[in-house]
Amino acid sequence: MDTLLQHYNPVSTNQVKTWFKACLEKDIPENGGACIKYQNKQIAIFNYKRKQKWYACQNLCPHKMEMVLSRGMIGDTEGIPKIACPMHKKTFSLETGENLNGDLPSIATFPVKLENGFVYIGFSE
Ligand code: FES
């Protein structure tokens, strides 16, 4: 099971080699998320409308290895935008991927850019 996690390494903006055209902006619900596939990865994309920000992270929750994070609730803890897994409500920072309420591994986060109504996700390969 751990091998699944190895598919997901965080990418910072300066590491981006490929901007993948993932979907239309309007495909992602406001203050919600949806999942896209890139190579062997499932990526959750969030339109955090209340903060006017977009985020992307692995769809895989490291708690029970479920592909569910795109269906979680987005929120905020002391100014940190977060995603709560819909299964058992473990929460992760959407900025750093850090697990905010436990000792789970961090999740991988990915840069997002918007251009001409499309959402692009940055990958390092
Ligand atoms: S599977 Fe995500 S919190 Fe349990």
Q: What is the CATH number of the domain that holds 37?
A: 2.102.10.10
Specify the pTM. Answer: 0.96
Contacts of 124 (CB under 8 A, 6+ apart): 9, 11, 15, 16, 17, 18
- What is the structure's pLDDT at 3? 84
What percent of the chain clears pLDDT 90, i.e. is strictly above it?
94
pLDDT at 125 over 90: no
Report the separation in Å between the CA atom of 63 and the middle of ligand 1, taken as the mean of its atom positions.
5
- What is the structure's pLDDT at 2? 58
Within a domain: 123: no
Report the separation in Å between the CA atom of 69 and the middle of ligand 1, taken as the mean of its atom positions.
9
Q: What is the residue range of 72's domain?
A: 29-116
Within a domain: 23: no
Say how many domains are in the chain: 1
Answer whether 71 contacts ligand 1 (Cβ < 6 A): no
Q: For 45-64, what is each residue's pLDDT tens digit?
A: 999 999 999 999 999 999 99
Within a domain: 125: no
20-39 burial, b for 16+ CB within 10 Å, e for fewer?
A: bebbeeeebeeebbbbbeee
Report the separation in Å between the CA atom of 8 and the middle of ligand 1, taken as the mean of its atom positions.
17
pLDDT at 78 over 70: yes
Within a domain: 91: yes
pLDDT at 34 over 90: yes
Mutating to test ligand 1, I would choose from 42, 85, 103 the residue with most ligand atoms within 8 A of its C-beta, which is: 85
The string of DSSP letters for 5-43 reads HTT-----GGG--EEEEEEEGGGSPBTEEEEEEETTEEE
pLDDT at 123 over 60: yes
